[in-house]
C-alpha cells in the first residue's frame, strides 16, 4: 500500500512539473531560453517606461523630433515629468515658476531620447511661429550656443522648421550672414533671463559640432536606459 501511494505521488509530482513547464530544458537550452525571455522583457521595458521615450530621436535623416514645453511669447515654465511623461508647471519652493524677464523668443523644449550633462534632455529653441506647448514637430538643427551655468556646460540648440520663415537657413553661419540680429537676440536673452552673471556666454557652435553633441547625447540616453534595465533584478527562471 505504501509503495502504491509513493508511486502515485511521484507520478503526480512529475505531471505537475510537466504542467508547469511542459518543455523541460537543461544546460545550454535552458540558458538560451532564459536569454530569449530576458530580451523580450528588455525590449518591452525599454520602450514602455515613459510615453515621451517612445518618440524617436530623429524624424528623418536630416531632421530631428522636437517637443515643445514652452510656447514662444509666453513666460510660464513648463517641464516634462521624467517619470510619467506628463507636461507639468515647473515649481520652485512650492511656487509656480514664471520668467521674470521678456517672454521666450521662440518655442522652447527638447530633443527626445537625449541626455545632457545635467541629466535632462538637450534643450532647443525653435525660431519659427509660436505653437501650443505639448506638441511635437520636426526640426532642422542649425547649431547651438554654448553657455556655462554655475560652471556647468549648458548648450542651447537652435532649430528651424523645414517649411517655415527660416527654411533656407541651414547652418549657424547662414544665420550669422543672413540674420545676425537673431543670434544676438538669443545670446542676450539667454544671458539675461536668469540672474545677471549666472549664464555666461562662451561661443557659437556650428552645425557639424552641434550634431555630434546631439548624437553623443542620444547614445548616452540609450546607455542609461540599458543600464537601468539591467540593474533591475529579474526573477529566477527555472
pLDDT in tens, 74-98: 999 999 988 888 899 988 888 889 9
Residue 171: its pLDDT value, please? 97
Q: Is 90 exposed, middle or buried (0-12, 13-18, 19+ CB in 10 A)?
A: middle
CATH number for the 56-220 domain, one of 3.20.20.70, 3.90.80.10, 1.20.1630.10, 2.60.120.260? Answer: 3.90.80.10
Contact 141, 213 (CB under 8 A): no
C-alpha cell at 97: 515658476
pLDDT-derived band at 10, boundaries 50, 70, 90: low
pLDDT in tens, 25-67: 555 656 666 665 555 444 444 444 577 888 899 998 899 999 9
State whether residue 133 is helix, strand or coil: coil
Amino acid at each position: 500500500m505504501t509503495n502504491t501511494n509513493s508511486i502515485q505521488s511521484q507520478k503526480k509530482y512529475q505531471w505537475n512539473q510537466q504542467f508547469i513547464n511542459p518543455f523541460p530544458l537543461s544546460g545550454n537550452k535552458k540558458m538560451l531560453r532564459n536569454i530569449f525571455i530576458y530580451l523580450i522583457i528588455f525590449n518591452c521595458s525599454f520602450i514602455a517606461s515613459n510615453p515621451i521615450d517612445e518618440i524617436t530621436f530623429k524624424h528623418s535623416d536630416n531632421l530631428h523630433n522636437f517637443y515643445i514645453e514652452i510656447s514662444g511669447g509666453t513666460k510660464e515654465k513648463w517641464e516634462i515629468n521624467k517619470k510619467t511623461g506628463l507636461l507639468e508647471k515647473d515649481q520652485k519652493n512650492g511656487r509656480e515658476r514664471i520668467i521674470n524677464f521678456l517672454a521666450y523668443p521662440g518655442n522652447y523644449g527638447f530633443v527626445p531620447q537625449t541626455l545632457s550633462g545635467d541629466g535632462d534632455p538637450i534643450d532647443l529653441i525653435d525660431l519659427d511661429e509660436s505653437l501650443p506647448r505639448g506638441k511635437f514637430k520636426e526640426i532642422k538643427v542649425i547649431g547651438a550656443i554654448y553657455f556655462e551655468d554655475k560652471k556647468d556646460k549648458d548648450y542651447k540648440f537652435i532649430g528651424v522648421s523645414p517649411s517655415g520663415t527660416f527654411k533656407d537657413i541651414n547652418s549657424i553661419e547662414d544665420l550669422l550672414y543672413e540674420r545676425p540680429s537673431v543670434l544676438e537676440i538669443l545670446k542676450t536673452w539667454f544671458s539675461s533671463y536668469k540672474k545677471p552673471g549666472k549664464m555666461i556666454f562662451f561661443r557659437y557652435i556650428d552645425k557639424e559640432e552641434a550634431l555630434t553633441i546631439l548624437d553623443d547625447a542620444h547614445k548616452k540616453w540609450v546607455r542609461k536606459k540599458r543600464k537601468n534595465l539591467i540593474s533591475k533584478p529579474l526573477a529566477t527562471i527555472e
